[in-house]
Structure 1
Amino acid sequence: MHPGSETKALRIVDKAGADALIAHIMETMQSLEVILTEEGGHVRAGRLRQGLSDTERKTALGASYMQGLEMAKANAIALARFAPDSIEGLKSAHMRFARVVETNQIVLATARTVSESLVKSLAEDMSRSRTATVYGRPSQPPSPYGRGAAGRSQPLILSRSL
Structure 2
Amino acid sequence: MPRETDAKPVRIGDRAGAEALVAEVMATMQALAEILAEESGHVRAGRLREGLAQSGRKSALAAAYMLGLETAKANAIALARFAPQGVETLKAAHRRFMAEVETNQMVLATARTVSEGLIKSLADEIGRARTPTIYGAPSVSPSPYGRGARSGPLVLSRSL
TM-score by length of 2: 0.92
Give the partner amino acid of 2:151: S
Cα deviation per residue 1:119-139 (whole Å; 9 max; x = unaligned)?
Answer: 000000000001122344211
- Bigger drift between 97-106 and 146-155 goes to 146-155
Query: SS of 2:152's equivalent?
Result: coil
Correspondence for 1:157 among 140, 146, 155:
155
Sequence identity of aligned pairs in percent? 63
- 1:37-90 superposed Cα distances (whole Å, 9 cap, x missing partner): 000000000100000000111111111100000000000000000000011100
Task: Name the residue aligned to 1:40.
Answer: 40
Tell me how far apart the structure 1 counterparts of residues 57 and 114 of structure 2 sit (CA, whole Å).
Answer: 26
Structure 2 CA distance for aligned equivalents of residues 147 and 102 of structure 1:
42
Instruction: Note closer, same or farther for the CA distance 1:30–1:147 as it changes in structure 2 (3 Å cut).
Output: closer
Give the number of aligned pairs: 160
Determine the structure 1 residue equivalent to 2:126: 126
AA of the residue aligned to 1:156 = L
Instruction: Please provide the CA RMSD for this pair.
Output: 2.0
Contact 2:141 2:148 in 1 (8 A): no
Instruction: Give TM-score, length-normalised by structure 1.
Output: 0.91
Deviations 1:92-132 (A, max 9, x none): 10000000000000000000000000000000000000112
* Gap runs ≥5 in structure 1: none
Q: For 2:116 and 2:150, how far apart are their aligned partners in 1?
A: 23
Aligned amino acid, residue 72 of structure 1:
A
2:105 maps to a residue whose letter is Q
CA distance in 2: counterparts of 1:43 and 1:114, whole angstroms: 11
- Offset at residue 148 of structure 1 (A): 6.2
Q: Residue 6 in 1 paired to residue 6 in 2?
A: yes
